[in-house]
Structure 1
Amino acid sequence: MNVNSARGSLSAAFACVLVGGSFTANSLLGEYPYAGGQFLRYGLAFLLLIPLVGRGAMAAVRRLEPRQWARLCLLAAVGMVGFNLAVLAAERTAEPAVPGVLVGCAPVVVAVLVPLLDGRRPRRIVLYGALLVAAGAFTVQGWGRTDTAGIAFSVCALLGEVGFAVIAVPLLRPLGPRLLTAVVCAVAAAESALVGLLADGGDWLRVPDTTETLVLLWQAVVVTVVGFICWYLGVQRIGAERATLFSGLIPVAAACTAPLVGAGGYGAAQAAGSALVAAGVALGAGAFGGRGARRPAGAGAPTGRRDGARARLGSVPRGGRPGGDGGH
């Protein structure tokens, strides 16, 4: 693994660890309006990112074509706002582990979908690694009670997780990680406001209390600004196939942090699942001498480049096992 690949892997891993470790903070937003929380989170993240995007940002944005703007809107709608809505809807009739397990299958879907979109065969080493990661995520989280609606919305959450990585790939070259994060956060904030107005009317936004303010600041500054930039740096450097392998770290990070807040335990199942995730990531990345370390076709070249429902993908469901509650 070369230096560029190592940095990309570390970036993707760090982003997923941030998401998985943030479930405690997100659990404190249960009473805050969903769309309003997302609006504040993404809007604040956008404002914080403005000084970081560089002088040529406006020129790069003006050069975007209508189809690229459409892709940005789709990325925000599917991978951020839609993903979070799907997880929340799934949890109305399903335990949090259910969407978590389905979303844990994202590495397998991406390992197959991205090569097919590029007109090539899936790489077996990456696919085998993705299967290990999915098995590890299932082992860490277990399975919970659900019904047909819960499974259907969990599948929608899986599609949102896949879209968060795949839809963004063609946008990395013209925008880079920082500018892409800034622009998509602005779009997601606008979409959240629209959802809030349509669903909740005048009650979609209120002044958060002290605890809610601190949680929203954490989501905006750490999970969104730092986490998104790290994630897209990883996707840019090692490709969506390999970067998505690290999403298996979300339930692992949740399992490791759960005992710190008395929200669950880290037992034999969590240890075994963590080992499977680690083995799957290492295998897919080519650490065992396979071809996974080669730069995949179609990966973005360096350009100079989860309302807390995704961080809730690292929450702890009934029974004490970390579930799938993290947030884009």
Structure 2
Amino acid sequence: MDTPSASFAPLIPGMVGMVLVGSSVSVSHALVDAPLFTAQAVRYAAATAILLLLARLAGTRPVRPRGQEWLWLAGLAVTGLLLFNVAVVRGVAHAEPAVIAVAVASVPVVLGVLGPLLERRAPSRQVLLAAPVVVAGAVLVEGTGRTDAAGVAWAALALGCEAAFTLLAVPVLGRHTPWGVSVHASWLGAVLFAVLGVEREGPTAAGELTGAQWAAVGYLALLVTAVAFVLWYSTVRTVGTGRAGLLAGIAPLAAAAAGTATGSGVPGSSVWLGIAVVIGGLIGGLRAPRAYGAAASVDAAPRTAPSPTSTRSR
């Protein structure tokens, strides 16, 4: 993995990716009554085809996983794609959507602590201080809601799966690049969802999708999967999981903006306050650290040499 950068430019892809993820909230409403597993299987299969085409146009070619890389990539697909979607769907049956959204919005704290450790460097004090601020702002934006014990458990699983989507990519980003990780995660996800779709919904469930649902699947496949995955992993690879994790706070803001644009009404005062808090947390956590001699770089530089997996040729 590249040495994490303190500059602003590498953050832009991740910011755009989070805006796309946030925009998916409104689009996903079209799939509420669709066969879940089948729709997701189509989404990830289409995303795989799109990614392979875009990768070829970009002059890169995904390589075949080997050895333990299969475990990291399969784990990413199982947790970050399959279980995450199941946790969200099952969770809203026991809790209001805001509860699940708030749990997922807490991912900056998890990534700020565990991400740097996985990258073999010390967590950044700046990021650790900013992460709770970003989460607090996201809570204000999303609101809170009622839940039961099962809802809390599903929310916790959704948070863990959201973090796993980034953390499990760290050991393989070096060799596979954002393009390769995105391709392998997508086709593995397509296979997993297809198996469940055939078993739970039947082999002809795709025929039940309406025109609006096909359009939603296409949007999710192109922008929220193919494009957003590559943008997100590009930022993670460049700046590290800690700083990149703060960008997850942008998704609730984008969701609120998308909701306003689609006619859900103007946000209330608590949402505006939450937006201001998120922005403040992002500014505090993402600004370039001041130089105080050698000590200033302690949070940005790896403590040990990268693992052999991350230094192999691409």
With the length of structure 1 as denominator, give the TM-score of the two structures.
Answer: 0.84
Residue 245 (structure 2) pairs with residue 244 (structure 1): yes
Distance in 1 between residues matched to 2:5 and 2:100, nearest whole Å:
35
Q: Which residue of 2 aligns with 1:57?
A: 61
1:209 shift after superposition: 2.1
Kept after mapping to 2: 8 A contact 1:71/1:167: yes
Aligned mates of 1:281, 1:143 — CA distance in 2: 22
Matched, 1:48 2:50: yes
Taking a change above 3 Å as real, the CA distance of residues 296 and 3 of structure 1, as seen in their structure-2 partners, is closer
Residues of 1 paired with 2:44 and 2:6: CA distance? 29
Greater alpha carbon shift after TM alignment, 205-214 vs 72-81: 205-214
**Cα shift at 1:179:** 2.0
Whole-Å separation in 2 of the counterparts to 1:128 and 1:192: 38
Alignment correspondent of 2:206: 205
Contact 2:16/2:231, CA 8 A, preserved across alignment: yes
Instruction: Give the structure 1 partner of residue 276 of structure 2.
Output: 275
State the superposition RMSD in angstroms.
2.7
Q: Which residue of 2 aligns with 1:317?
A: none
CA distance in 2, matches of 1:294, 1:302: 21
2:112 matched to 1:111? yes
> Structure 2: which 5+ residue stretches go unaligned?
none
The residue number in structure 2 matching 1:67 is 68
| Partner Cα distance (1:237, 1:196) in 2 | 36
Q: Deviation per CA, 1:237-281: give whole Å up to 9, x if none.
A: 111111111111111111122222222431221111111111211
**Does residue 146 of structure 1 match 2:147?**
yes
Secondary structure of the corresponding residue to residue 8 of structure 2: helix
SS in structure 2 opposite 1:6? Answer: coil
Q: Give the Cα separation in 2 of the matches to 1:293 and 1:207.
A: 55
Q: Which of 23, 26, 41 does residue 25 from structure 2 map onto?
A: 23
Unaligned runs of 5+ in 1: 306-328
Displacement, 1:160?
A: 0.6
Amino acid at match of 1:49: L
The number of residues matched between the two structures is 301
8 Å CA contact retained: 1:283, 1:292 = no
Where 1:32 maps in the other structure, the secondary structure is: coil
SS, match of residue 230 in structure 1: helix
Deviation sequence 1:90-119 (CA, Å, 0-9, x none): 101111100111111110011111233345
Q: Cα 1:135–1:296, aligned 2, differ >3 Å: closer, same or farther?
A: farther
Q: How much has 1:24 moved relative to structure 2?
A: 1.6
Structural mapping, 1:8-19, within 5 Å: 8-19=10-21
Structure 1 residue aligned with 2:229: 228
Matched residue SS, 2:93: coil
Match of 2:216, SS state, is helix
Deviation, 1:287, is 4.5
> Aligned partners of 1:95 and 1:15: how far apart in 2?
26
Distance 2:256 2:298 in 1: 28
Question: Per the alignment, do residues 161 and 292 of structure 1 end up closer, same or farther by CA in structure 2, a change over 3 Å counting?
Answer: farther
Contact kept in structure 1, 2:123 and 2:299, CA below 8 Å: no
C-alpha distance in structure 1 between counterparts of 2:127 and 2:298, whole Å: 9
* Equivalent residue, structure 2, for 1:165: 166
Indicate the larger mover: 278-287 or 238-247.
Answer: 278-287
Closer, same or farther: CA 140–51 of 1 in aligned 2, 3 Å: same
- In structure 2, relative to structure 1, the CA distance for the partners of 1:238 and 1:258 (3 Å cut) is same
Which secondary structure state, in structure 1, belongs to the residue aligned with residue 240 of structure 2?
A: helix
Answer yes or no: is the 8 Å Cα contact 1:99–1:157 preserved in 2. yes
Is structure 2 residue 34 aligned with structure 1 residue 32?
Answer: yes
Change (3 A) 1:3 1:68: closer
Equivalent position amino acid for 2:26 in 1: T
Higher mean displacement: 165-174 or 204-213:
204-213
d(CA) in 1 for partners of 2:139, 2:9: 27
